[in-house]
Amino acid sequence: MNAHEKFTLVIGATGTTGSRVVARLAATGGRVKAAGRRATPVDGAVPVRFDWDDPASFEGALDGADRVYLIPPLGVSDPEAVMLPFLRQARTAGVDRAVLLSSSAIPAGGPAVGQVHQALPGLFPQWAVLRPSWFMQNFTGNHAHARTVRADGTIRTAAGEGRVGFVDADDIAAVAVHALTEAHAPNAGLILTGPQALSYDDIAAVLTDVTGRTVTHRHLTYERMRDRLAAEMPAEFAAMLAGMDRTIAEGAEDRTTDTVQRLLGRAPRSFRTVAERELG
């Protein structure tokens, strides 16, 4: 790498996908700025302070960057209000490629980050929007499902027997790096899934088999799930999350795509493989 080569700015650099994106870029010799509220040191990257709530942090984070990996602010119902001013500033500062993490459940122009998705092609000549299904790491990391699995061997949802194409965060990060570094950006929204659509009962069965500890899926009503979540978060956000379970029950996430295979030249990893890697 030469001294004049630009940086890739990774926002949310200590998060589930951001940390993996930083590690992959650094491993290939890329120049990386690892952005977060505390500018946490990360191997192979330059730590930089970045806070969506503090626009004064934007300029320093963008200095020397020509591409950016975007994690929306967490728990914000209208992220476009803070993200779009930053993205306009990024374009003015010389960023010409942006890769946004969204969700398979949110289309362009949809609620929340869907508004940012819709705006991205008009802001950057090179772009991609990653729309992964639910993360496999929801059952192995620090997500509420993983915590209840560890605490009492249960997964509680209002998803019924609905199926989801759960995807490995490592595969999401690999696609993100591809979108950031290939000669031509995808300039598209990319729905990312694992190789199979699985129900939460299927997930519980795999976890039972891999860990040797009985894990069960408790089927809750939408109302009970909403009220359970509302004890831990704002009521509006709880209703949205419970509503996403309800759409799963109705079949909205019962799909798989060939995106990982097509872009990476290999099949996406199965849930059993990830469970064995992280819990076995």
- Whether 112 and 163 map to the same domain: the answer is no
For position 41, what pLDDT does the model report? 87
Cβ 33 vs Cβ 90: under 8 Å: no
Q: How confident is the model over 175-212, as pLDDT tens digits?
A: 999 999 999 999 999 999 999 999 999 999 999 999 99
Tell me: do 11 and 117 sit in the same domain. Answer: yes
Asked whether residue 14 is assigned to any structural domain, the reply reads: yes
51 plus 163 within the same structural domain: no
Whole-number pLDDT of residue 75: 75
Q: Which residue has the higher pLDDT, 117 or 235?
A: 117
Say whether both 24 and 123 belong to one domain. yes
Phi-psi region of 167 (alpha: psi -120 to 50; beta: other; left: phi over 0): beta
Residue 189 domain flag = no
- Reported confidence tier of residue 3, pLDDT bands at 50, 70, 90: very low
What CATH number is associated with residue 279? 3.90.25.10
Instruction: Summarize pLDDT for 126-176 with one digit per residue, the tens.
Output: 999 999 999 999 999 989 999 999 999 999 999 999 999 999 999 999 999
**Three-state SS annotation for 186-228:** CCCEEEECCCCCEEHHHHHHHHHHHHCCCCEEEECCHHHHHHH
pLDDT digits (tens, 9 = 90+) for 12-36: 999 999 999 999 999 999 999 999 9
So what's the pLDDT on residue 147?
A: 95
Tokens representing 207? 């976890």
**Phi/psi at 150 (nearest 5 deg)?**
-70, -40
> Is 20 or 41 the better-scoring residue by pLDDT?
20
What domain range is 274 assigned to? 134-168+194-254+268-280
Residue finishing a domain among 132, 159, 180: 132
pLDDT recorded at residue 4 = 59
User: How does 207-227 read in b/e, with b if 16+ C-beta sit within 10 Å?
Assistant: beebbeeebbbebbebeebbe
Are 104 and 19 part of one and the same domain?
A: yes
Give me the phi and psi of 260, to 5 degrees please. -60, -45
What pLDDT is stored for residue 111 in this prediction?
87
Among 87, 113, 132, the domain-final residue is 132
Question: Residue 26 is part of a domain; what is its CATH number?
Answer: 3.40.50.720
Alpha helices (H) along the chain: 18-27, 58-62, 80-92, 113-123, 144-152, 169-181, 200-211, 222-230, 235-249, 259-264, 271-279
Indicate if 103 and 215 belong to the same structural domain: no
Number of domains making up the chain: 2
- The answer to the question of residue 213 being in a domain is yes
Does one domain contain both 126 and 149? no
pLDDT given for residue 155 in this prediction? 98
Q: What is the pLDDT of residues 54-105, one digit of tens each?
A: 999 999 999 999 999 999 998 787 899 999 999 999 999 999 999 999 999 9
Examine residue 260 and state whether it is found in any structural domain, yes or no.
Answer: no
pLDDT of 2 reads: 41
Average pLDDT, stretch 241-246? 94
